[in-house]
Amino acid sequence: MENNILSGLRVIDCGTYIAGPAAATIMSDFGAEVIKIERPPHGDPYRYLSFLKGMPVSEHNYCWLLDGRNKKSLALDLGIEAGREALHRLAATADVFITNYSPEIAERFQVSYEALSAINPRLIYAHVTGYGEEGEDTNKPGYDTTAYWARSGLTGIIYDLEVQTGATPCGTGDHPVSLALFGSIMLALYQRQVAGRGSKVSTSLMATGAWSNSCQIQAAQVGAEFPQRRNRFTPLNPLVNQYQTGDGERFIFCCLDPVNDWGRICRVIGRPELIDDPRFSTVHARSDNAAEVVTLLDDALAGKNMSEWAVLFHEQGVIWGPIPTMDHVAKDNQMKANGVYVELDHPELGKIETVSSPLNVQGVTKQTPAMAPEIGEHSHEILSSLGYDEVEIERMKKRGVTIVKS
């Protein structure tokens, strides 16, 4: 592994699914050694998420490929005393321990903050929850759909009146939470450098969702009156709305200048006479006549392809953004130019691309992504490094404490 900012740090990923483990993935991108603890025989249930009904259909395990990269897999059954003993030995050598276990499970498996900090006082213990560590919902199971999206109010404000669906794309709450947890861990590592001791840090899907939706929440906290939810034909500002071009491509205007943007758009669509039309000449007039503006723009924008409009928008300084399909997103050259997509050697597909963590440090090159491990792929290596001999490892295998992949 290349030398990097976090090289020399050992991170134990003792979580499931995305929010906690993805924080470990970010650390691995900057050189940390990440050891993934998985319960035999099936491992982290996240390994199987790609194949659930409703997910994008592929024979390749894309979810695990993304968040399992760079990690070593140690299969341990923490329900067995020998498994807990092995984890305790590992914790004594670690810098960071990441988990999303409930307090009850952490106690049962002897991996609570109190248990592990007694073994290693310099350990940073990072805990991610659905709804926080206090209050009546503290033990309630939390997923990004419920704890991040719904509880924060985001779900209630993002859908128009014609489309009422509870589905949110996989990981869209969990991955922002992983950034919050990563930041907490880095703060604790800095504190350890100053004070010489470890600590416990935490975040939750609910708290990160609230931070994402904090402008709206702050408005409610000062007693603001919220406008009624509207569809695309009744927006408060038809210049912040979705439209479609002649070739079927969708995009969104984000024109917030109440004075100049209407004129720019009128010139772009070849209707300069509408600039001073009293029905549309002010932001309030356009809001009052929003359906008429939307229909007018729909008709005009159908007259050219997206590539033609893109040139005209640029010439007039119109703020807009494409709404691409996922196939187009995956091929976005702007993403590639900025290192958002990085190459990974896949044993079956050859060189493919994966999504890098959204953090960069000038002069620092992130780790070259490595394939996500099989369950127990590194069990023998890690257990041997912890002082277990061949006889002990074989005994652990036979008892179901571990899996060792040859």
Same topology for domains 10-213+359-398 and 242-323, yes or no?
no
Strand order in the sheet with 250-253: 242-244, 250-253, 320-322
Each domain of the chain, given as residue ranges in start order, spans: 10-213+359-398, 242-323
Torsion of CA 247, 248, 250, 256, to 10 degrees: 60
Phi, psi for 184 (deg, rounded to 5)? -65, -45
pLDDT tens for the chain, 406 residues long, are 567 999 999 999 999 999 999 999 999 999 999 999 999 999 999 999 999 999 999 999 999 999 999 999 999 999 999 999 999 999 999 999 999 999 999 999 999 999 999 999 999 999 999 999 999 999 999 999 999 999 999 988 876 555 556 578 999 999 999 999 999 999 999 999 999 999 999 999 999 999 999 999 999 999 999 988 778 898 999 999 999 999 999 999 999 999 999 999 999 999 999 999 999 999 999 999 999 999 999 999 999 999 999 999 999 999 999 999 999 999 999 999 999 999 999 999 999 999 999 999 999 999 999 999 999 999 999 999 999 999 999 999 999 999 999 7
DSSP 141: -
d(CA 43, CA 46) in angstroms, rounded, equals 8
Decide the pairing of beta strands 124-129 and 96-99: parallel
pTM over 0.85: yes
Looking at the domain covering 242-323, what would its CATH class be?
alpha beta
Residue 206: per-residue pLDDT? 98
What's the length of the chain? 406
What does the pLDDT look like over 77-115, one tens digit per residue?
999 999 999 999 999 999 999 999 999 999 999 999 999
Residue located via tokens 């209407």: 262
Q: What would the pLDDT profile of 130-159 be if each residue is shown by its tens digit?
A: 999 999 999 999 999 999 999 999 988 876
Exposure letters 308-344 (e unless 16+ CB within 10 A, then b): ebbebbeebebebeeeeeeeeeeeeeeeeeeeebbeb
Query: So what's the pLDDT on residue 165?
Result: 60
CATH 3.40.50.10540 matches 10-213+359-398: yes
CA distances from 50 to 128, 192, 268, 275, 346 (A): 22, 38, 44, 50, 17
Angle between helix axes 19-29 and 174-195 (nearest 10 degrees) is: 60
